[in-house]
Amino acid sequence: MTAGKESEKEVPEDLRDKPLADTGLKNDLNILVMLVERGGRKAEAPDGFTVFQTGDKLTVFGDIRTICRAFQAREQFIDEE
């Protein structure tokens, strides 16, 4: 089984307007934010001081169920045969 179709979700309100280091994504949930795309510009690797804003697109790595809970998304899976 692999993660299915990509879905875009808004950055949750509790993650907005605070530095990445203060979100608990890495330390508490073991979710790594790999890239942040903002305003249609090229995606860039964030640092601990990156502050998420409405409209940001994030590329994250971690357990799919934990990611879905953190970003209030629904899981989608596609069976590979």
| Cα distance between residue 77 and residue 68, in whole Å | 12
As a whole number of angstroms, the distance between CA 65 and CA 18 comes to 23
Q: How far is CA 79 from CA 30, 32, 69, in A?
A: 26, 25, 22
pLDDT greater at residue 15 or residue 5? 15
At the second CATH level, the architecture of 2-75 is 2-Layer Sandwich (3.30)
- In tens, the pLDDT along 10-51 reads 788 888 899 999 999 999 999 999 999 998 899 999 999 999
* Rounded-to-integer distance, Cα 55 and Cα 40, Å: 10
pLDDT at 76: 58
Q: What tokens were used for 76?
A: 């989608």
pLDDT of residue 60: 92
Other CB atoms within 10 A of residue 64 CB: 15
Is the pTM of the predicted complex or chain greater than 0.95? no
